[in-house]
A and B are shown apart, each in its own frame.
Chain A
């Protein structure tokens, strides 16, 4: 059959029809009419009328597969034109005239706050915040903002839909085969055994292929049903830019009550995320941001209010860190604000408030296991000669050094893992072990880790462990490849299954199925947001050194040092690869990558010429080190790793930039255009 170990556009599916999307060119409006030219033979229009249930089911089912009466963002798909020749498809698309009646549009967080356009709102508290503020020695407040980020996986989104003998099969670039399958079942109203989803080799995901593939899959599926031939849609870069999800921009307000030693005794946090036009994954992104509200500090009293705003832009989605980067930027800059105001030392001040084992989280859960963040900070400070450099750079006119301290909760937020009911299957056939799971490789090489876990558990050579291909006809639903959960959560199930197999050594062939169960002692109330939002956390410290060019206001990052506690790493080499890659992506978020919306609801860039991700000539000296601890729940003590290294970069770089420039930078990306304006204001 097809070699699905290739990228979707490289696989030969025989005779296929291509599909090209007509999308909305206005941010908000009613479609009054669509004028379609006469189509040549063999060319079709596929639209909402071809979808039995025209909704993409992610968490809720708010988002249409194809726009109906209204469009709510530039890039919202209206229809597909399907046919043999891509050039002819381009011509047809150009000739289609859509008549809109424009409606009121909301394009920014502030506008949406003013008009109360909310997708979701949550709130939780711990302790007594009012008292803490009433008896405060001082109160410090700050506003912190982060911008859009585009995933920029090198391989754009692409899918092929095939309809044969009453069954739909979708192949493509994706992170979550079962999300796609569930969305297909829902939209097509097909029985489960008539829907098959197979992941092709995927050229990068970073969260950008977590939910969007479901929408595209439904489109190619209904197209292949209508046109009676396989249909392939592969976006070009411009289409991918305009149509697919981006990281949530944020505006976060921190207010802290300090005691006479300047220690934070109370916090009032307001988190605003820009969710774009539809709900999709935003409620969970918001939750992860909110659960990071206390950072790595022990905050006795805290009130956290979170809102996702609805704006007329592409739905914001998952991206490495998933809400945590936004919040860690805010809290670490807030700590720096307090340090600045009261002339404190950024190292000692953080150290003073850091969490220890058995401290309570902001949701009243427990920090379990080895919590070594203080020791990590001490190590990192020593390794980078931070104290001396900080004093020296503070006096210099253009150099800076900064710290960030951060964590990442392992696995799905809250009761997510319980709701997922992840299931894996492990088969032993003579001396071979075959693992069946729906978690995929998108470059992070989790399957290698899973194989190693099995090999270690059974003490067999790695080459005897095989992972079955991610085909929903063959593998069970072990949950999505997100939330840094594959090794730490799914890996544990694999280890447990292997241990069962070990107990049955005498059997030549055996098959074990394992389902996720919540570890003993963890409690979570999803209504009140109370308890253990995560079973355990991975930790990180970043120290960044930057140079400020007084002439051009540009910030150049010279060095980044990262120390990471990811538990007991399964494959250190691959962990370092994740750390390096995550750091460089974080560098882009901090400095280079900016994406803004103009008054017509268009992104001001949609090509690589203008959206600048780091190149080989932009990377600083990066040093990554692992601080080994033993996790509680992951296989052999492994904790989560993939997203962690992204989280700490922007705050460390910004912290350093503040020293180098002498300006209170509170917004990323740190563009020289923006620095100039702060300079003017001061």
Chain B
């Protein structure tokens, strides 16, 4: 099937099996390694992407269902101010790093929508991102005092 997506601002047209998972299309066909497979069932959040401004688990999305849609991964938002500020505040907090990209995607989507989320909103935004190393507390605390834009 012919599928057209806008990945990180770039138009990509593919002849591809529409049932192929978006995570596999990204990793195997488009060399986007930032999305990781931690579980394959939408529970861990390591494969998080942004589609038309909302976050999704790319392991649960057949590529045929995102025809004509705008997809963002970490590679596409690397230069955005919001992401840079999130990364600056969370400098050094991630440990093994496997959940990091998924978390950053969820946090980016949150801060894009709401400039000053409170602690509960931050926790809620990453409630679908599992982390086994950090215990979450520092990630939440280092972001909740966000005052400037």
Contact = CB atoms under 8 A, between A and B. Distances in A.
Q: Do chains A and B touch in the complex (CB under 8 A)?
A: yes
Interface of A: 6-7, 9-10, 151-156, 201-206, 236-237, 442-445, 573, 576-577, 580-585, 607-609, 613-617, 619, 622
Given A237-B40, A443-B95, A154 B135 contact: no
B132 interface: yes
Contacts, number: 113
B117 to A, nearest CB: 13
B15 interface: no
B74 interface: no
B38 interface: yes
Given A203-B98, A607-B43, A617 B133 contact: no
B130 A608 contact: yes
Contact of A608 (B43, B135, B140): B43
Given A154-B46, A580-B138, A607-B43, A6 B95 contact: no
B41 interface: yes
Interface in B79-132: 92-93, 95-99, 122-124, 126-132
B135 A237 contact: no
B132 A236 contact: no
A622 B135 contact: yes
Nearest to B139: A616
A202 B129 contact: no
B95 A444 contact: yes
Interface residues of B, number: 35
Contact of B127 (A153, A206, A613, A617): A617
B144 to A, nearest CB: 12
A156 B36 CA distance: 11
Nearest to B93: A577
A619 B137 contact: yes
Nearest to B34: A10
Contacts of A616: 122-124, 126-127, 129, 136, 139-140
B39 interface: yes
B17 to A, nearest CB: 10
A6 B126 CA distance: 24
Contacts of A445: 95
17 contacts: A7-B98, A151-B132, A155-B38, A202-B96, A205-B96, A443-B96, A443-B133, A576-B138, A577-B138, A580-B135, A580-B137, A584-B137, A607-B43, A616-B124, A616-B139, A617-B123, A617-B127
Given A445-B95, A619-B137, 16 more contacts: A7-B36, A9-B37, A154-B44, A154-B46, A154-B96, A154-B131, A155-B98, A237-B38, A576-B138, A577-B138, A581-B135, A582-B135, A584-B135, A608-B44, A616-B139, A619-B136
Nearest to A237: B39
A580 to B, nearest CB: 4
A581 B95 contact: yes
A204 B96 contact: yes
B136 A584 contact: yes
Contacts of A617: 123-124, 127
Contacts of A203: 36, 96-98
A432 to B, nearest CB: 23
B95 A577 contact: yes
Given A7-B98, A153-B96, A154-B44, A236 B37 contact: yes
Contacts of B136: 584, 614-616, 619
A155 to B, nearest CB: 5
A582 B41 CA distance: 26
A615 B127 contact: yes
B103 to A, nearest CB: 9
B68 interface: no
Given A6-B33, A236-B37, A577 B98 contact: no
A385 B121 CA distance: 30
Nearest to A620: B137
A613 B39 contact: no
Nearest to A202: B96
Residue of B46, B99, B133, B139 with highest tally of chain A CB at under 10 A: B133
B65 interface: no
B123 A155 contact: no
A16 to B, nearest CB: 12
A236 B24 CA distance: 13
Residue of A237, A445, A607 with highest tally of chain B CB at under 10 A: A237
A446 to B, nearest CB: 11
B67 interface: no
A154 B127 contact: no
A89 to B, nearest CB: 14
B43 to A, nearest CB: 4
Given A577-B134, A584-B136, A616-B123, A154 B41 contact: no
Contacts of A580: 134-135, 137-138
A62 B135 CA distance: 37
B92 to A, nearest CB: 7
Contacts of A442: 96
A455 B22 CA distance: 45
Contacts of B44: 154, 608
Nearest to B94: A443
Nearest to B17: A87
Contacts of B134: 577, 580-581, 584
A338 B65 CA distance: 62
B116 to A, nearest CB: 18
B130 A206 contact: no
Nearest to B106: A616
Contacts of A608: 39, 41, 43-44, 130
Contacts of B132: 151-154, 204, 206, 581, 585, 613
A607 B41 contact: yes
Contacts of B122: 616
A155 B36 contact: yes
Contacts of B99: 154
A154 B102 CA distance: 11
A491 to B, nearest CB: 19
A202 B45 CA distance: 18
B126 to A, nearest CB: 5
Contacts of A582: 135
B37 A609 contact: no
A292 to B, nearest CB: 24
Residue of B37, B97, B126, B135 with highest tally of chain A CB at under 10 A: B135
A584 B127 CA distance: 15
A582 to B, nearest CB: 8
B38 A622 contact: no
B98 A204 contact: yes
B130 A615 contact: yes
Contacts of B140: 616
A206 B36 CA distance: 19
Contacts of A156: 38
Contacts of A619: 135-137
A466 B44 CA distance: 34
A481 to B, nearest CB: 12
